[in-house]
């Protein structure tokens, strides 16, 4: 009996020692600020880009956090998450990161100060079983770095918190001359992002690009693309592009400019529910660069996105949310490419196939980043958007997986080598002369859906970062994103998985039985 009590006391003492050791380790860990993150994307630790954004500060960076306290779900953790992130960043800033936390809610003087800093109140509504609340709250921050000032107007997403903060820090700490210049081509029926409604996807993309660098619209009839533009977005041209403008686009690439093209082989008319062939005239130039834009339209009757289409019912025309096969969704992405690796899916309404030219121009390398799923189909001559008619497959449709996004890099040949050059539309402009015939090393991305810009802003942002060779922001944007769809294991992998699921518990039971038997003996 005495021996049994002694063993029991020894076990309790050992347990108490282990508990004390664990508490000491936890306390030491909190003091040191170390964190062990075993997730595949490192979502619970700081990214390298975040550390680099504050590691070489030359002067104090002051962040004023304008945030309301005691918010209800789903925003109840945002304030503390922001403060934790800034605390982590401060450990690498060598004492140059200063954080002021202010709750201006209900204080007119502080509200005015927040407004002068660029942070304005947001409408906030909360409803539960026992109360309904509507008020204005603050969820932003302002940054001051010398004479430069930056603003994060709202931080509604925990998934994008680190990206928003790092992007704002880089915006105020980077010299203006070093920030990239992004242009949006106009003059051929493209949507104008500067006139888009504030709550539209295009306006949101405009704000993202403006935070990425300087952003402006460029172009017009026979207007050269400015030399200081680093990247040009060609989005949904509906009108024929004059040859003189193709010369300007071509020469922009020849001098090393990067281009992202979002264009389809068809143009939808949602009012008349019709499709027509695209007449933008980009195909010859794209083909010369190494990308072949098809004329067919792609459909997927199994995986598609909801669209609002005008439908006539009972003699009345109204918008109805439907899932037409033309708004296809795909999960078949090249997971080895950082720009699309973490995307759970891509939405490509009214898409056409985009293939790599065979052969590619000498000195050009190309990759397919996105394909449709295997159950998609390609159809020529489709002219109706009637949702009912689209549900039935046409005998002429070709079924299979079709490439819809390609990326090209290298030295591109000019489209106008050995060709007669067009006359200038601008009569006062000098004639084209001394055109470059081969480009400096550069990059081009082509997506076969003009509407992908409004439906996939993360794809657009990642494409811009790839073109500008900023892989760091792509990595942050993918952290904490929706989980990538799992691929079915092979037969051998499935057998090993089943063996592990059954064998591991059986092994533990056997070891436990053996230990019990030895202890009894």
**pLDDT per residue over 21-60, tens digit each?**
888 877 776 665 556 666 665 667 788 888 999 999 999 9
Distance CA 471, CA 181 (A): 17
Mean pLDDT, the chain, rounded, equals 86
Say what the pLDDT of residue 479 is: 62
pLDDT for 144 beyond 60: yes
Model pLDDT, residue 317: 64
Q: Which band of pLDDT confidence, cut at 50, 70 and 90, is reported for residue 66?
A: very high
**Proportion of the chain above pLDDT 90, given as a percent:** 48
Tell me if the bond preceding 74 is cis, omega within 30° of 0.
yes
pLDDT at 386: 78
Q: Under CATH, domain 48-161 is a member of which superfamily?
A: Glutaredoxin (3.40.30.10)
- In order, the DSSP letters of 155-223 are ---STTHHHHHHHHHHHHHS-GGGS-EEEEEESSS---GGGS-TTSHHHHHHHHHHHHSEEEEEE-TT-
Which segments of 35-174 are extended strands (E)? 61-67, 97-102, 122-127, 132-137, 139-145, 148-152
Q: Which residue is listed with tokens 């000498």?
A: 362
Question: pLDDT at position 275, please?
Answer: 87
**pLDDT score for 320:** 63
Rounded average pLDDT over 440-463: 93
Task: Write out the residue limits of the CATH 3.40.50 domain(s) in the chain.
Answer: 180-478
- Which one of 3.40.50, 1.10.3110, 2.60.40, 1.10.10 gives the CATH number of domain 180-478? 3.40.50
Taking a C-beta distance cutoff of 8 angstroms, is the pair 385, 324 a contact? yes
For 58-65, what is the mean pLDDT?
95
Indicate left, alpha or beta for 310 from its phi (over 0: left) and psi (-120 to 50: alpha). Answer: beta
Least confident of 14-28, 50-64, 245-259, 329-343: 14-28
Average pLDDT of the residues in 234-242 = 95
pLDDT at residue 483 is higher than 60: no
Determine the pLDDT at residue 252: 97
Average pLDDT in the 303-327 region? 71
pLDDT of residue 364: 97
Statement: residue 122 has pLDDT above 90: no
Q: Evaluate if residue 486 carries a pLDDT over 60.
A: no
Which segments of the chain belong to CATH 3.40.30.10? 48-161
Question: d(Cα 339, Cα 471) in Å, to the nearest integer?
Answer: 8
Residue 488 has pLDDT above 80, yes or no: no
Handedness of CA 102, 106, 107, 111 (dihedral sign): positive
Question: What is the DSSP code (8-state) at residue 395?
Answer: T
pTM comes to 0.72
pLDDT in tens, 362-396: 999 999 999 999 999 999 988 888 777 788 888 88
**Cα–Cα distance, 72 to 394 (Å, whole number):** 52
Q: How far apart are alpha carbons 86 and 98 in whole angstroms?
A: 9
**Phi, psi values for residue 304, rounded to 5°:** -150, 165
DSSP 288-354: HHTEEE-SSEEE-SSSB--EEEEEEETTEEEEEEE--TTEEEE--B-TTSHHHHT-S-EEEET---E
The pLDDT value recorded for residue 239 is: 95
Q: Which of 65-74, 102-111, 335-344, 484-493 has the lowest mean pLDDT?
A: 484-493
Question: According to the model, what pLDDT value does residue 201 have?
Answer: 82
The predicted structure's pLDDT at residue 179: 86
């Amino acid at each position: 009996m005495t021996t049994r009590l002694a063993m029991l006391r020894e076990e309790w003492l050992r347990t108490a020692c282990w508990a004390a050791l664990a508490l000491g380790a936890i306390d030491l860990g909190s003091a040191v600020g170390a964190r062990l993150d075993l997730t595949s994307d490192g979502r619970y630790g700081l990214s390298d880009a975040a550390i680099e954004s504050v590691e070489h500060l030359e002067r104090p960076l002051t962040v004023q956090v304008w945030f309301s306290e005691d918010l209800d779900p789903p925003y109840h953790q945002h304030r503390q998450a922001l403060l934790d992130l800034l605390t982590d960043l401060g450990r690498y800033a060598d004492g140059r990161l200063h954080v002021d936390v202010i709750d201006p809610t209900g204080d007119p003087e502080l509200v005015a100060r927040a407004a002068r800093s660029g942070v304005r109140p947001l409408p906030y509504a909360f409803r539960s079983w026992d109360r309904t609340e509507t008020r204005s709250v603050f969820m932003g921050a302002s940054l001051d770095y010398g004479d430069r000032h930056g603003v994060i107007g709202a931080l509604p997403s925990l998934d994008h918190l680190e990206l928003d903060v790092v992007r704002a820090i880089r915006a105020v700490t980077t010299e203006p001359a070093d920030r990239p210049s992004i242009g949006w081509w106009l003059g051929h029926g493209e949507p104008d992002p500067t006139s888009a409604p504030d709550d539209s996807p295009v306006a949101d993309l405009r704000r993202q690009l403006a935070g990425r660098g300087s952003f402006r619209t460029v172009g017009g009839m026979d207007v050269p693309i400015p030399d200081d533009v680093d990247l040009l977005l060609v989005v949904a041209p509906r009108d024929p592009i004059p040859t003189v403008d193709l010369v300007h686009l071509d020469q922009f690439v020849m001098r090393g400019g990067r281009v992202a093209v979002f264009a389809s082989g068809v143009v939808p008319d949602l009012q008349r529910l019709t499709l027509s062939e695209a007449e933008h005239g980009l195909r010859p130039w794209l083909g010369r660069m190494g990308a072949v834009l098809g004329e067919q339209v792609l459909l997927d009757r199994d995986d598609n996105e909801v669209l609002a289409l005008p439908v006539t019912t009972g003699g009345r025309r109204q918008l109805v949310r439907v899932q037409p096969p033309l708004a296809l969704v795909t999960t078949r992405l090249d997971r080895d490419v950082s720009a699309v690796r973490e995307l759970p899916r891509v939405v490509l309404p009214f898409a056409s196939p985009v293939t790599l030219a065979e052969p590619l121009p000498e000195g050009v390398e190309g990759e397919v980043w996105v394909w449709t799923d295997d159950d998609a189909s390609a159809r020529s001559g489709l002219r109706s958007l009637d949702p009912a008619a689209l549900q039935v497959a046409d005998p002429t449709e070709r079924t299979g997986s079709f490439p819809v996004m390609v990326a090209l890099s290298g030295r591109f040949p000019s489209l106008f080598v050995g060709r007669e050059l067009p006359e200038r539309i601008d009569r006062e402009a000098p004639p084209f002369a001394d055109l470059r015939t081969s480009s400096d090393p550069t990059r081009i991305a082509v997506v076969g859906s003009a509407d992908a810009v409004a439906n996939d802003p993360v794809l657009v942002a990642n494409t811009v970062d790839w073109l500008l060779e900023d892989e760091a922001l792509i990595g942050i944007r993918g952290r904490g994103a929706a989980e990538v769809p799992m691929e079915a294991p092979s037969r051998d992998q499935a057998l090993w998985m089943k063996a592990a699921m059954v064998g591991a518990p059986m092994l533990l039971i056997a070891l436990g039985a053996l230990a019990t038997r030895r202890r009894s003996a």
